[in-house]
A = this chain, B = another copy of it.
Amino acid sequence: MKNPENRPWKVLESEYVRRRPWCTVRLERLEMPDGRVVPEYYVMEYPDWVNVVATTHDGRMVLISQYRHGLGETAYEIPAGCIEPADASPLEAARRELREETGYGGGRWRQLCVVAPNPATQNNRTYCFLAEGVEPQGAQQLDATEEIGVHLASREEVLELLAGNRITQALMAAPLWRYFYETRE
Protein backbone atom coordinates (compact mmCIF):
# COMPACT_ATOMS: atom_id res chain seq x y z
CA MET A 1 0.00 0.00 0.00
CA LYS A 2 1.18 3.50 -0.80
CA ASN A 3 1.84 5.86 2.09
CA PRO A 4 -1.11 8.09 2.94
CA GLU A 5 -0.75 11.67 1.74
CA ASN A 6 1.17 13.73 4.32
CA ARG A 7 -0.78 16.85 5.30
CA PRO A 8 1.42 18.44 7.98
CA TRP A 9 0.02 21.10 10.23
CA LYS A 10 1.77 24.48 10.27
CA VAL A 11 3.39 25.70 13.48
CA LEU A 12 2.18 29.25 14.21
CA GLU A 13 3.74 29.59 17.67
CA SER A 14 5.99 27.34 19.74
CA GLU A 15 7.44 27.60 23.23
CA TYR A 16 8.86 25.29 25.86
CA VAL A 17 6.75 25.29 29.02
CA ARG A 18 9.16 22.96 30.85
CA ARG A 19 12.63 21.63 30.01
CA ARG A 20 13.72 19.06 32.59
CA PRO A 21 15.08 15.51 32.32
CA TRP A 22 11.98 13.31 31.72
CA CYS A 23 9.74 16.35 31.31
CA THR A 24 10.38 18.50 28.26
CA VAL A 25 7.07 19.92 27.11
CA ARG A 26 6.54 22.06 24.02
CA LEU A 27 3.32 24.06 23.68
CA GLU A 28 2.32 24.99 20.13
CA ARG A 29 -0.39 26.83 18.24
CA LEU A 30 -1.03 24.98 14.98
CA GLU A 31 -2.89 25.52 11.71
CA MET A 32 -4.51 22.57 9.92
CA PRO A 33 -4.30 22.34 6.08
CA ASP A 34 -7.88 23.66 5.73
CA GLY A 35 -7.11 26.72 7.88
CA ARG A 36 -8.63 25.56 11.19
CA VAL A 37 -6.49 26.61 14.15
CA VAL A 38 -5.53 24.28 17.04
CA PRO A 39 -4.82 26.77 19.83
CA GLU A 40 -3.09 24.53 22.41
CA TYR A 41 -1.14 21.45 21.33
CA TYR A 42 1.45 19.78 23.56
CA VAL A 43 4.42 17.68 22.41
CA MET A 44 6.55 15.80 24.98
CA GLU A 45 10.16 15.57 23.85
CA TYR A 46 12.28 12.52 24.73
CA PRO A 47 15.44 10.88 23.37
CA ASP A 48 14.89 7.76 21.28
CA TRP A 49 14.60 4.54 23.26
CA VAL A 50 15.71 0.92 22.74
CA ASN A 51 14.62 -2.48 24.00
CA VAL A 52 15.77 -6.08 23.54
CA VAL A 53 14.07 -9.44 23.11
CA ALA A 54 16.97 -11.60 24.38
CA THR A 55 17.19 -15.40 24.30
CA THR A 56 19.84 -17.66 25.85
CA HIS A 57 21.56 -20.55 24.04
CA ASP A 58 19.07 -22.96 25.67
CA GLY A 59 16.06 -21.00 24.42
CA ARG A 60 15.06 -19.11 27.55
CA MET A 61 14.13 -15.43 27.42
CA VAL A 62 15.67 -12.70 29.62
CA LEU A 63 13.02 -10.65 31.43
CA ILE A 64 13.36 -7.99 34.07
CA SER A 65 10.97 -6.66 36.69
CA GLN A 66 10.86 -3.19 38.17
CA TYR A 67 8.51 -0.83 39.95
CA ARG A 68 6.85 1.63 37.58
CA HIS A 69 5.45 4.64 39.35
CA GLY A 70 3.13 5.86 36.53
CA LEU A 71 0.88 2.81 37.05
CA GLY A 72 2.15 2.15 40.60
CA GLU A 73 2.97 -1.49 39.83
CA THR A 74 5.92 -3.85 39.60
CA ALA A 75 5.69 -5.83 36.36
CA TYR A 76 7.66 -8.02 33.97
CA GLU A 77 9.38 -6.21 31.12
CA ILE A 78 12.16 -6.73 28.61
CA PRO A 79 15.45 -4.83 29.08
CA ALA A 80 15.14 -1.26 27.77
CA GLY A 81 16.43 2.27 28.09
CA CYS A 82 17.36 5.56 26.45
CA ILE A 83 19.89 6.05 23.69
CA GLU A 84 22.63 8.10 25.39
CA PRO A 85 24.75 10.70 23.56
CA ALA A 86 27.78 8.38 23.99
CA ASP A 87 26.08 5.42 22.24
CA ALA A 88 27.40 5.00 18.68
CA SER A 89 24.06 3.60 17.44
CA PRO A 90 20.70 2.25 18.64
CA LEU A 91 22.27 -1.24 18.53
CA GLU A 92 25.10 -0.17 20.85
CA ALA A 93 22.58 1.42 23.22
CA ALA A 94 20.59 -1.82 23.31
CA ARG A 95 23.72 -3.93 23.99
CA ARG A 96 24.66 -1.52 26.81
CA GLU A 97 21.20 -1.60 28.38
CA LEU A 98 21.04 -5.41 28.30
CA ARG A 99 24.48 -5.61 29.90
CA GLU A 100 23.74 -2.98 32.58
CA GLU A 101 20.25 -4.14 33.52
CA THR A 102 20.82 -7.92 33.44
CA GLY A 103 24.55 -8.72 33.19
CA TYR A 104 23.87 -10.61 29.93
CA GLY A 105 25.76 -9.99 26.68
CA GLY A 106 27.19 -11.57 23.56
CA GLY A 107 24.96 -13.43 21.09
CA ARG A 108 23.76 -12.62 17.58
CA TRP A 109 21.91 -9.31 17.21
CA ARG A 110 19.51 -7.87 14.65
CA GLN A 111 16.90 -5.12 14.59
CA LEU A 112 13.42 -6.58 15.12
CA CYS A 113 11.30 -3.47 14.56
CA VAL A 114 10.88 0.25 15.14
CA VAL A 115 7.82 1.47 17.03
CA ALA A 116 6.70 4.84 18.37
CA PRO A 117 5.43 5.44 21.91
CA ASN A 118 2.90 7.98 20.67
CA PRO A 119 3.23 9.74 17.29
CA ALA A 120 0.59 12.30 18.35
CA THR A 121 2.09 13.47 21.63
CA GLN A 122 5.77 12.40 21.65
CA ASN A 123 8.63 13.07 19.25
CA ASN A 124 10.57 9.83 19.78
CA ARG A 125 10.86 6.27 18.50
CA THR A 126 11.85 2.95 20.10
CA TYR A 127 14.30 0.66 18.29
CA CYS A 128 13.64 -2.98 19.20
CA PHE A 129 16.33 -5.63 18.85
CA LEU A 130 16.49 -9.42 18.91
CA ALA A 131 19.59 -10.88 20.62
CA GLU A 132 19.89 -14.66 20.31
CA GLY A 133 22.29 -16.77 22.36
CA VAL A 134 23.16 -14.22 25.07
CA GLU A 135 25.19 -15.33 28.12
CA PRO A 136 25.83 -14.05 31.67
CA GLN A 137 28.89 -11.76 31.52
CA GLY A 138 28.99 -10.21 34.99
CA ALA A 139 27.01 -8.29 37.55
CA GLN A 140 24.28 -5.71 36.90
CA GLN A 141 25.41 -2.06 36.67
CA LEU A 142 22.38 -0.07 37.72
CA ASP A 143 21.64 3.66 37.63
CA ALA A 144 21.09 5.52 40.90
CA THR A 145 17.30 5.08 40.85
CA GLU A 146 17.09 1.57 39.37
CA GLU A 147 16.12 -1.59 41.28
CA ILE A 148 15.74 -4.37 38.75
CA GLY A 149 15.03 -8.10 39.09
CA VAL A 150 16.31 -10.51 36.40
CA HIS A 151 14.22 -13.53 35.38
CA LEU A 152 14.69 -16.32 32.84
CA ALA A 153 11.46 -17.61 31.31
CA SER A 154 10.59 -20.20 28.69
CA ARG A 155 8.92 -19.23 25.41
CA GLU A 156 5.66 -20.72 26.75
CA GLU A 157 5.91 -18.72 29.98
CA VAL A 158 6.45 -15.44 28.11
CA LEU A 159 3.52 -16.22 25.79
CA GLU A 160 1.38 -16.89 28.86
CA LEU A 161 2.45 -13.57 30.48
CA LEU A 162 1.61 -11.70 27.26
CA ALA A 163 -1.70 -13.50 26.76
CA GLY A 164 -2.67 -12.66 30.36
CA ASN A 165 -1.86 -8.95 29.86
CA ARG A 166 0.97 -9.24 32.40
CA ILE A 167 3.62 -7.71 30.11
CA THR A 168 1.59 -4.57 29.45
CA GLN A 169 4.12 -1.99 28.24
CA ALA A 170 3.07 -1.65 24.57
CA LEU A 171 6.60 -0.79 23.38
CA MET A 172 7.61 -4.24 24.65
CA ALA A 173 4.46 -6.23 23.82
CA ALA A 174 4.70 -5.18 20.15
CA PRO A 175 8.20 -6.61 19.45
CA LEU A 176 7.46 -9.69 21.61
CA TRP A 177 4.26 -10.53 19.69
CA ARG A 178 6.15 -9.84 16.43
CA TYR A 179 8.91 -12.22 17.53
CA PHE A 180 6.39 -14.92 18.40
CA TYR A 181 4.57 -14.41 15.08
CA GLU A 182 7.79 -14.58 13.08
CA THR A 183 8.96 -17.73 14.89
CA ARG A 184 5.50 -19.34 15.02
CA GLU A 185 5.19 -23.10 14.80
Contact = CB atoms under 8 A, between A and B. Distances in A.
B116 A6 contact: no
Interface string A24-44: 010110101110101011111
Nearest to A144: B36
B119 A73 contact: yes
Nearest to A1: B157
A147 interface: yes
Interface in A79-132: 113-123, 125-126
Contact of A170 (B1, B126, B151, B160): B126
A177 interface: yes
B33 A147 contact: yes
A138 B125 CA distance: 36
Chain A binding surface SS class: mixed
B166 A177 contact: no
A32 B111 CA distance: 34
A67 B170 CA distance: 21
A149 B4 contact: yes
A74 interface: yes
Interface of A: 1, 3-9, 17-18, 20-23, 25, 27-28, 30, 32-34, 36, 38, 40-44, 65, 67-76, 113-123, 125-126, 144-145, 147, 149, 151, 153, 157, 160-162, 165-166, 168-171, 173-174, 177-178, 180-181, 184
Contact of A69 (B30, B73, B75, B174): B30
B72 A8 contact: yes
A8 to B, nearest CB: 6
B147 A34 contact: yes
B70 A119 contact: yes
A8 B67 CA distance: 6
A9 B115 CA distance: 29
